[in-house]
Amino acid sequence: MKILISGFDPFGGEKINPAYEAVKLLPDSIKGAEIVKLEIPTVFHKAAEVLEEKVKEVDPDVILCIGQAGGRYGVTPERVAINVDDARIPDNEQKQPIDVKIKEDGPSAYFSTLPIKSMVEKMKEAKVPSSVSNSAGTFVCNHIMYQILYMIDKKYPQKTGGFIHCPFIPEQVIDKPNQPSMNLSDIARGLEAGIEAIVERDGKEDIKEIGGAIH
């Protein structure tokens, strides 16, 4: 198995993005799966172009993207991506789409094709706080998750894909009172555990565990 795992570059005035920094800490092989790492730009549509070029080059079985979600307490696999860009802030090329469809011919939403419940359980076993997230937002993170699943739906039906959000790291919250953070090594450990679950559940249905949210 080959897994392409990407992370975004810094955005929103931050000097670092824990997403790709954690990806860089991952081993090159997890449970026998080859891990291919890629940094992608925090830019609407360009992120998907860079990612698809790498997909064509390495032909992975799994496409997984990691992004930063400041304010979250855990490493959170995303359940769903919605077909809308509604940017609260500009991306790294100062584009700020508002209420724009990502793909005119795409469905309203795509669900992750990764075993997200198994991934959460595996992360918890690794002593990393984790939960299923039911909203990837409407910025470039949701955008790339939707683009991954659209790409799989239209061109690569044999592949699987999805998205994981991670928290700030401590150095990012020095000037952000009451914001949670997680050490980079713990984020990387959580990602590695989640990838182990992807490998172990390959070809199998996800486990049935509580992962819903009231709000």
Q: Active-site residue numbers?
A: 78, 141, 165
> What is the maximum span of the chain, computed from C-alpha positions, in angstroms?
45
Beta bridge partners of 35: 3
Q: Is 200 helix (H, G, I), strand (E, B) or coil?
A: helix
Spatial CB neighbours of 171, under 8 Å, sequence gap ≥ 6: 16
Task: Give the contacts of 145 (CB within 8 A, at least 6 positions apart).
Answer: 65, 78, 81, 110, 112, 136, 162, 163
- Alpha-carbon gap, residue 178 to 201, rounded angstroms: 37
Helices (H), 26-158: 46-58, 116-125, 140-154
- How many other C-beta atoms lie within 10 A of the C-beta of residue 20? 22
* Alpha-carbon gap, residue 108 to 82, rounded angstroms: 6
Tokens of 162: 């999805």
The gap from C-alpha 4 to its chain's centroid, in whole angstroms, comes to 11
- Give me the helix-helix angle, 184-200 and 116-125, nearest 10°: 130
Q: Which amino acid is at 50?
A: V
